């Protein structure tokens, strides 16, 4: 009786057969344009010929961070300066081939510093406006929505937006970037006062001519100052 019960319990158990993947939502910002997302055109099934986030399966001897950086380099030819884990997506049926759990990442790059080059499982790699995305493979629209929500929240308390700008930029570019990401108008006077009070910008000797107005001064982000303030318990808050 005992042996029959034990046999029944053993046969009712299923062996785990779950694959682990990584996917990356990489944002890019073009001056005076919408926020953009990097997508690749798949050259394998499923969704062959469709657009998707860059990513793939993690190798047996590979760390997660190494896996996502490898996939970004192989499928799009880029190496983001800012990259952090976003969320884990693992609903049953999200991939028609296997049970796949995806550890997703949020990345930020300045597109002018990166030349896209598709390879591996991708036929093409392009930037798409977050407001004009094509139909996406798998559950990648849900992943992008989650990443956008994280970015819009995070940029208001941590100065990650500087990763999207040129090394030197007019203050108006920083204003436009925040307005674009947050998705609403900001109090320009209060925004400038708050940013400048932190001492996070270094004024350069260079200027940029925009429109019919007088040339605007160019600034750089003071990374060392931010690290110093962060160690002191500094809380970057922009609303």
Are 64 and 115 in the same domain? Answer: yes
Are 50 and 132 in the same domain? Answer: yes
Cα separation of 118 and 72, whole Å?
9
Question: Which residue among 127, 154, 181 closes a domain?
Answer: 154
Residue 103: inside a domain, yes or no?
yes
Residue 7: inside a domain, yes or no?
no
Tokens standing for 121?
């499982």
Are 42 and 114 in the same domain? Answer: yes
In angstroms, the first-to-last Cα distance of the chain is 68
pLDDT at site 230: 84
pLDDT at site 52: 98
pLDDT at site 124: 96
Q: Whose CA is closest to 87, among 37, 24, 154?
A: 24
pLDDT per residue of the chain (239 residues) written in tens, 0 to 9 = 555 555 555 555 677 889 999 999 999 998 778 999 999 999 999 999 999 999 999 999 999 999 999 999 999 999 998 999 999 999 999 999 999 999 999 999 999 899 999 988 899 999 999 999 999 999 999 999 999 999 999 998 899 999 999 999 999 999 999 999 988 888 889 999 999 999 999 999 999 877 666 788 999 999 999 889 888 887 777 76
Which range of residues forms the domain containing residue 147? 16-154
Listed in sequence order, the residues at least 6 apart from 51 whose beta carbon sits closer than 8 Å to its beta carbon are 39, 40, 41, 42, 128, 133, 134, 135, 136, 137
Are 185 and 209 in the same domain? Answer: yes
Q: For residue 175, give the CATH number of its domain.
A: 1.10.10.10
Whether 105 contacts 23, CB under 8 Å: yes
Cα separation of 218 and 199, whole Å?
15
Are 54 and 146 in the same domain? Answer: yes
Are 131 and 78 in the same domain? Answer: yes
CA dist list (Å): 154 to 32, 84, 206: 21, 12, 30
Count of structural domains, the chain: 2
Backbone phi, psi, residue 80, to 5°: -60, 145
Question: Which residue among 135, 154, 173 closes a domain?
Answer: 154
Residue 9: inside a domain, yes or no?
no
Are 175 and 119 in the same domain? Answer: no
Question: Which residue among 122, 154, 186 closes a domain?
Answer: 154
Task: Kindly report the pTM of this predicted structure.
Answer: 0.89
Tokens standing for 10?
């053993």
């Amino acid at each position: 009786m005992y042996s029959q019960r034990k046999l029944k319990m053993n046969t009712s158990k299923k062996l785990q057969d779950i694959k682990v993947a990584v996917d990356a939502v990489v944002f890019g910002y073009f001056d005076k344009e919408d926020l953009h997302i990097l997508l690749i055109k798949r050259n394998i099934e499923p969704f062959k010929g469709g657009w998707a986030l860059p990513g793939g399966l993690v190798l047996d001897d590979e760390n997660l961070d190494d896996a996502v950086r490898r996939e970004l380099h192989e499928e799009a030819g880029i190496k983001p300066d800012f990259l952090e884990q976003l969320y884990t997506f693992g609903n049953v049926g999200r991939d028609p081939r296997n049970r796949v759990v995806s550890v997703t990442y949020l990345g930020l790059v300045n597109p002018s510093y990166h030349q896209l080059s598709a390879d591996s499982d991708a036929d093409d790699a392009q930037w798409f406006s977050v407001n004009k995305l094509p139909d996406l493979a798998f559950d990648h629209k849900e992943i992008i929505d989650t990443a956008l929500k994280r970015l819009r929240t995070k940029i208001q308390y941590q100065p990650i937006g500087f990763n999207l700008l040129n090394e030197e930029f007019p203050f108006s570019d920083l204003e436009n970037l925040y307005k674009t990401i947050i998705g609403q108008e900001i109090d320009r006077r209060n925004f400038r006062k708050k940013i400048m009070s932190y001492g996070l910008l270094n004024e350069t000797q260079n200027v940029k001519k925009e429109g019919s107005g007088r040339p605007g001064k160019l600034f750089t982000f003071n990374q060392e100052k931010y690290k110093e303030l962060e160690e002191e318990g500094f809380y970057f808050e922009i609303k």
